[in-house]
């Protein structure tokens, strides 16, 4: 039975009719040998056609599919690659090209970023935001021409364009699903960038100061919330994580190119960036307000103990026990005086009545004594968010979002009153 089944599956070689005629159904060995010898010629023609197509693309011409037995020809029947790129030229990375690995390694190191003055941006949206803000591209790596066509090509005239394999981009990309495009930009200067006009018209006199925020995810989220809340600018102290780190860029979702961000400032520079008059408030962790005297302060507690929001205020009789001891008696006296002068206030109470600055501290090192001093000098408050008992405190990013949007609400509500007051003064 098995032989019978195999016989049914076979195809007949020939059919013998009752009249004696023979009909051959399978090609003869002579025909098969002829096709076998002709196969290398067809492969050779395919290779020649592919080479002619690449030469036509580089020359700016287009390729017309040849007929059987004809040679490849170049004609202007549809837009060429060079025409699609607006006349831009690119080069293909050869096997063993180390440029992508080198620039990615440089962009991932903060020391190299500051030394070389370069940053790494990945993805179409982030690169488009950077180009729209006036950032200067240096090198752009892409895997497909279609990805390159999605960018504003007129702003890539001075950049070096390199076509690499998608596998190479996937190796060096930090994304789970890479988009196939990585760009190296000159490190932008916030004072020279041009931000969207429609977004800048929606800003309020609210300034954000990040004090020793060292988690990249938290800092990126804070910057994103600051852009969404319409902050005028963001000031970063020297103890913060680098604002141009790839993780911060991904978490910020383009906030770097939507509002001015000034990193690496000491407190003297921070004061100069704030207009006068100005009221500075600090975000209060409530349960324990940790005062940091320097970056190498000891007895640092875990982030859960240093977190930002709690449901009870600080009692005045526990100040001396809850703070880091200082080597100087003057610093200790200043801390106690600052804590007694900077009064706590709930976040929903009126605290943003004019130009306002908000200080958000890191979860590990907390607020610095300079932040409290600035809040005391400007008659600011320690803002806290009431919570249900027994709930873990919020982190710095969640606290910043609550306080920033509440500050925006209060300032926008105050704006009509100020305009009516100004009109009444003019009529008098």
Q: Is residue 240 exposed (0-12), middle (13-18) or buried (19+ Cβ within 10 Å)?
A: buried
**What average pLDDT does the structure give for the chain?**
77
The pLDDT tens digits of the residues spanning 42-76 come to 566 666 666 666 665 555 444 444 444 445 444 44
289: pLDDT strictly greater than 80: no
294: pLDDT strictly greater than 60: no
Q: How far apart are CA 261 and CA 20, in angstroms?
A: 94
Residues near 212 by beta carbon (within 8 Å), at least 6 away in sequence: 237, 239, 240, 292, 295, 361, 362, 364, 365, 366, 368
313: pLDDT strictly greater than 90: no
- When comparing pLDDT for 103 and 269, which is higher? 269
Supply φ then ψ for residue 393, to 5 degrees. Answer: -65, 155
23: pLDDT strictly greater than 60: yes
Q: Which string of DSSP letters, residue by residue, matches 107-123? A: HH-HHHHHHHTEEEEES
Q: What does the pLDDT read at residue 171?
A: 87
428: pLDDT strictly greater than 80: no
Q: What does the pLDDT read at residue 326?
A: 37
Q: How many Cβ atoms from other residues are within 10 Å of residue 85's Cβ?
A: 18
Q: How far is CA 115 from CA 37, 121, 241, 257, in A?
A: 62, 18, 16, 22
Q: What does the pLDDT read at residue 126?
A: 95
- When comparing pLDDT for 144 and 107, which is higher? 144
Q: What does the pLDDT read at residue 79?
A: 58
The pLDDT tens digits of the residues spanning 351-369 come to 998 899 999 998 887 889 9
Q: What does the pLDDT read at residue 53?
A: 60
- Residue tagged 């009064």 (tokens): 343
Q: pLDDT tier at 425 (50, 70, 90 boundaries)?
A: very low
Sign of CA dihedral 270, 271, 273, 275: positive
Percent of the chain whose predicted confidence (pLDDT) is above 90:
43
293: pLDDT strictly greater than 60: no
Highest mean pLDDT: which of 61-65, 129-133, 167-171?
129-133
**Average pLDDT estimate for 72-95:** 67
Q: What does the pLDDT read at residue 98?
A: 86
Q: How far is CA 19 from CA 16, 22, 351, 422, in A?
A: 8, 9, 109, 114
Question: For residue 160, what are the β-bridge partners?
Answer: 139
Quick check: 356 and 283 in contact, CB under 8 A? Answer: no
**Burial profile 388-411: b = 16 or more Cβ within 10 angstroms, e = fewer:** eeeeebbbbbbbbbbbbbbbbebb
Model-level pTM? 0.70
Q: What does the pLDDT read at residue 6?
A: 60
β-pairing verdict for 206-211 and 233-237 = parallel
Q: Whose CA is closest to 178, among 191, 189, 164?
A: 164
Highest mean pLDDT: which of 13-17, 200-204, 286-290, 327-331?
200-204
The pLDDT tens digits of the residues spanning 326-342 come to 344 444 444 444 455 78
Q: What does the pLDDT read at residue 201?
A: 87
Q: What does the pLDDT read at residue 47?
A: 61
Q: pLDDT tier at 7 (50, 70, 90 boundaries)?
A: low
Quick check: 225 and 199 in contact, CB under 8 A? Answer: no
298: pLDDT strictly greater than 70: no
Q: pLDDT tier at 77 (50, 70, 90 boundaries)?
A: very low
Highest mean pLDDT: which of 14-23, 179-188, 276-285?
179-188
Q: What does the pLDDT read at residue 42?
A: 59
Q: How far apart are CA 7 and CA 63, in angstroms?
A: 50
262: pLDDT strictly greater than 90: yes
Sign of CA dihedral 16, 22, 26, 28: positive
The pLDDT tens digits of the residues spanning 202-257 come to 999 999 999 999 999 999 999 999 999 999 999 999 999 999 999 999 999 999 99
């Amino acid at each position: 039975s098995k032989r019978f089944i195999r016989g049914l599956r076979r195809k007949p070689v020939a059919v013998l009719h009752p009249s004696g005629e023979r009909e051959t159904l399978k090609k003869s060995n002579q025909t098969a040998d002829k096709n076998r010898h002709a196969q290398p010629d067809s492969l050779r023609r395919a290779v020649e056609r592919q080479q002619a197509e690449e030469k036509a693309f580089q020359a700016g011409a287009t390729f017309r599919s040849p007929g059987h037995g004809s040679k490849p020809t170049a004609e202007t029947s549809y837009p060429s690659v060079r025409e699609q790129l607006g006349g831009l030229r690119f080069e293909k990375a050869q096997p063993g090209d180390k440029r992508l690995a080198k620039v990615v390694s440089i962009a991932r190191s903060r020391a190299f970023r500051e030394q070389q003055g370069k940053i790494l941006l990945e993805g179409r949206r982030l690169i488009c935001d950077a180009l729209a803000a006036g950032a200067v591209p240096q090198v752009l790596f892409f895997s497909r021409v279609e990805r390159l066509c999605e960018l504003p090509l007129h702003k890539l005239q001075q950049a070096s364009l390199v076509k690499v394999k998608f596998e190479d981009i996937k190796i060096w990309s930090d994304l789970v699903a890479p988009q196939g495009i990585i760009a190296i930009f000159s490190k932008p200067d916030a004072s020279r960038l041009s931000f969207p006009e429609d977004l800048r018209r929606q800003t309020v006199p609210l300034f954000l100061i990040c004090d020793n925020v060292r988690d990249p995810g938290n800092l990126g989220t804070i910057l994103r919330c600051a852009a969404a809340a319409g902050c005028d600018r963001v000031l970063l102290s020297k103890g913060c994580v680098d604002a141009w780190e790839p993780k911060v860029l991904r978490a910020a979702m383009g906030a770097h190119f939507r509002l001015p961000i000034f990193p690496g400032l000491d407190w003297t520079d921070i004061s100069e960036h704030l207009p006068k008059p100005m009221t500075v408030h600090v975000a209060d962790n409530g349960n324990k307000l940790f005062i940091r005297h320097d970056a190498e302060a000891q007895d640092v507690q875990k982030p859960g103990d240093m977190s930002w929001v709690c449901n009870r205020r600080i009692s005045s009789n526990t100040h001396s026990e809850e703070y880091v001891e200082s080597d100087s008696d003057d610093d200790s006296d200043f801390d106690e005086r600052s804590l007694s002068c900077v009064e706590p206030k709930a976040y929903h109470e009126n605290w943003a009545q004019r130009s306002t600055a908000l200080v958000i501290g890191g979860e590990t090192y907390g607020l610095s004594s300079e932040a409290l001093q600035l809040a005391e000098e400007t008659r600011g408050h320690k803002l806290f968010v009431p919570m249900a008992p027994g709930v873990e405190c919020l982190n710095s990013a969640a606290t910043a979002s609550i306080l920033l949007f509440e500050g925006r609400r209060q300032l926008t509500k105050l704006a009509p009153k100020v305009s009516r007051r100004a009109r009444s003064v003019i009529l008098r």
